[in-house]
Structure 1
Amino acid sequence: MTSPQHTDLSQISERTNVQLPSWKSDAQPFVQIENITKKFDDFIAVDNISLDIYKNELFCLLGGSGSGKSTLLRMLAGFETPTSGRILIDGVDMAGIQPWSRPVNMMFQSYALFPHLTVAENVAFGLKREGIRGAEVKQRVTEMLDLVQLGHLGKRKPNQLSGGQRQRVALARSLIKRPKLLLLDEPLGALDKKLREETQFELINIQDELGVTFVVVTHDQEEAMTLASRIGVMNHGVIVQTDEPQDVYEYPNSRFVAEFVGSVNLFEGQVTVDEPDTVCVTSPEAGGELCVNHGISCAPNQDVHVAVRPEKIRVSETRPDQTYNCLQGTILDIAYMGSLSVFKVKLASGKEVRVTQPNTNRESGGRFTWDDSVYLSWDMDSCVVLTS
């Protein structure tokens, strides 16, 4: 699958004098992971991964349980030793360097706050372990608590705080030693949905203000899409795609990524037209021809999948004036979810298609009902062809 055409970013920078993000320029990688493998007896948890992460980047490792993302994070922290390969941070090989000697700090999902210490004492703990005392500790603790908007709660104990407040105390404690790299393992997993969404933006603002490089491990696709400058999608110990959030979502490079990141409809078929700007696939389960406005590298009549996101699909009572990407079916189920409605539409082949439509006004959610015969259609630039 070929990527969409992008404007020359270096020319934009020259015209507008805007500094490019490091991963879009020729900057030296800040974290270099080179052919890292980690085995536990005969089990390969991380399989020959190479990855560059840049200064001031907020990079997310996204994957399901057992994908190897936390093991990779622990190797960056020094809690696990690679079986083979090497890790460089700021140009320094980390082989043999203990966790406490690395320019790294790690924030765990459990937060691990000391219950007998106040908020301020928890945050100051790392500084005091390093022998820092007096006015400097007080000043840095005050600055850090103000940064996470907890300056007024310094004298409270952890059991007097909400989940979101405890999360910010743990973040302040991780950042007060001014690490070059902060590792966060499922940092928002203990929060409820609404608080998690609010805290995501707080985390972005704090990272932007401090300029510290963040590497976040998460299994939550929405969290990764919200937080990350780039996402590395992991599966079975391998990073299968590394891209900016929009490209991971809009241009997945495999069926696994398309299905793991968000919701998607996949139509199996055979390639009948393969031109640089057009691919057409005949799909019996779709009941017609599906066309995409990009070329692919494939054999004649190769079996492929066409992927289209539910929100890209239009629903209509009458047939649209197009011969491709147009399916007919019957509404099988409807779910009203406030801001949008979800439709399950059954095609003649028995294939079920998921469609989401925004409820732009109060009546839009009731436009269609069960057993209605409808047409589904989408544009050529709203889908992709996947060969793997």
Structure 2
Amino acid sequence: MNLFQNNCPSTPAVLTSANLPLWKQEGAEPFLRLENITKKFGEFSAVDNISLDIYKNELFCLLGGSGSGKSTLLRMLAGFETPTSGRIWIDGVDMSGIQPWKRPVNMMFQSYALFPHLSVEENVAFGLKREGVARSEVKQRVRGMLELVQMSHLGKRKPHQLSGGQRQRIALARSLIKQPKLLLLDEPLGALDKKLREETQFELINIQDELGVTFVVVTHDQEEAMTLSTRIGVMNHGEIVQIAEPHDVYEYPNSRFVAEFVGSVNLFEGLVVEDEPGRVRVQSKEAGGMLYVNHGISCAPNQKVHVALRPEKIRISSKQPSQNENCIHGVIEDIAYMGSQSVYRVRLASGMEVRVTQPNFARDMDERLTWQDQVYLFWEVDSSVVLIA
């Protein structure tokens, strides 16, 4: 049964025949547009002059820490907060002055907010009954939605008889059954344990893809944002500091804040001694040598920068490699065996601690490193990024 006959194309509308996402297509119209949105509480700016375009059928994540403004921004999209200045457009309609219940939007709260005295079926049907939808249609749509979230067999139960993951699915079904054009999710998986959260992430992606509804998800969990999203907007102090696809946010952060916030990173401070279009050389006292990166940055001579290097990009060995650049020396201070990978903390002569992660390909490794071993760390020229900010 097609629950969203008008919104569920046979192939995702976010892709063209050439597999080019809408946000990369020149002239593509955004489904959700924020124009210079600001929200102040007294003198404090919770959201500071944000402009953002989100396209139809996207699963867009707002990622940030506590107090970054992401939940305030979500509440303005829902109509629960009024912007101090700026405009919000949904599907070409200005939402200024439109009450929350009149917007083509629904919201799934972190607490799920299920009615404890109603059954699963009654919780899911609640919004349709309030709108006066015919009983036969309500029954049909509830049945279809429970099938979609794989909860048909639990329709007669009450919320307290469900697990956390099951309650999450019911909350999602209730949010989707009114066929919103836009679904807002506030930390939707925050109440689940790690294993269940990982499983539910893929279920959420599949449901969103099947229904073709645009999702905006607020989360503080970097792995969750990387798994779920088509694009990520990283927020800090009320601003969106980078908007990009997950791969680009991780591999090409545009600032020191993004590099440190998204995943683990080693940052080597240094001075630029050579800056050409295809390469940068940075002299770093922290690293104890010259660092070579195969991209230019267009900076002033002797510019102070940070070279960002992810732990999994580094190779570690007790044997000195043949390369001179991007090769540093230190002593292993700590080792954490984590099953699929091992994490090494290596102390350099400068006192800087470098984090290295290595996959455990085999049960018995040819070279088994241990505490206090003298080791070399080395990496490829395209493995690091130079950051000015």
> What TM-score do the two structures reach when normalised by structure 1?
0.95
SS class of match (2:53): strand
1:254 paired residue number: 255
2:81 paired residue number: 80
Q: Which runs of 5+ in 2 are unaligned?
A: 1-15
Structure 2 CA distance, aligned partners of 1:363 and 1:276? 44
1:242 paired residue number: 243
Residues 253-272 of structure 1 aligned to structure 2 (within 5 Å): 253-272=254-273
Residue identity in the other structure for 1:22: L
**1:320-365 residue CA offsets vs partner (Å, 9 max, x unmatched):** 1111100000001100011000000000111100000000111239
Structure 2 CA distance, aligned partners of 1:317 and 1:77? 56
Contact 1:331–1:371 at 8 Å: present in 2 too?
yes
Structure 2 CA distance, aligned partners of 1:31 and 1:172? 22
Structure 2 CA distance, aligned partners of 1:102 and 1:297? 46
Aligned-pair CA distance for 1:53: 0.3
1:180 paired residue number: 181
**1:87-145 residue CA offsets vs partner (Å, 9 max, x unmatched):** 00001000000000000000000000001110000000000010112110000000000
Aligned-pair CA distance for 1:366: 7.4
Q: How many residues are treated as equivalent by the alignment?
A: 373
Residue identity in the other structure for 1:20: L
1:10 paired residue number: none
Contact 1:341–1:365 at 8 Å: present in 2 too?
no
**1:226-279 residue CA offsets vs partner (Å, 9 max, x unmatched):** 000000000000000000000000000000000000000000000001000100
Structure 1 CA distance, aligned partners of 2:357 and 2:385? 18
Residues 289-300 of structure 1 aligned to structure 2 (within 5 Å): 289-300=290-301
Residues 179-198 of structure 1 aligned to structure 2 (within 5 Å): 179-198=180-199
1:22 paired residue number: 22
Structure 1 CA distance, aligned partners of 2:336 and 2:187? 30
SS class of match (1:18): coil
Structure 2 CA distance, aligned partners of 1:214 and 1:72? 14
Q: Which runs of 5+ in 1 are unaligned?
A: 1-15
What is the identity percentage for the equivalent residue pairs of Structure 1 and Structure 2? Answer: 79
Aligned in 2, Cα 1:365/1:84: closer, same or farther, shift over 3 Å?
A: farther
Contact 1:336–1:365 at 8 Å: present in 2 too?
no
Aligned-pair CA distance for 1:17: 3.9
Residue identity in the other structure for 1:126: G
Contact 1:325–1:377 at 8 Å: present in 2 too?
yes
Residue identity in the other structure for 1:287: G
Aligned-pair CA distance for 1:19: 4.0
Structure 2 CA distance, aligned partners of 1:299 and 1:257? 23
* Structure 1 stretches of 4+ moved >4 Å: none
Contact 1:104–1:182 at 8 Å: present in 2 too?
yes
1:89 paired residue number: 90
2:347 paired residue number: 346
Residue identity in the other structure for 1:359: N
1:38 paired residue number: 39
- The reply on whether 1:276 has 2:277 as its aligned counterpart is yes
Structure 2 CA distance, aligned partners of 1:318 and 1:152? 60
Aligned in 2, Cα 1:365/1:309: closer, same or farther, shift over 3 Å?
A: farther
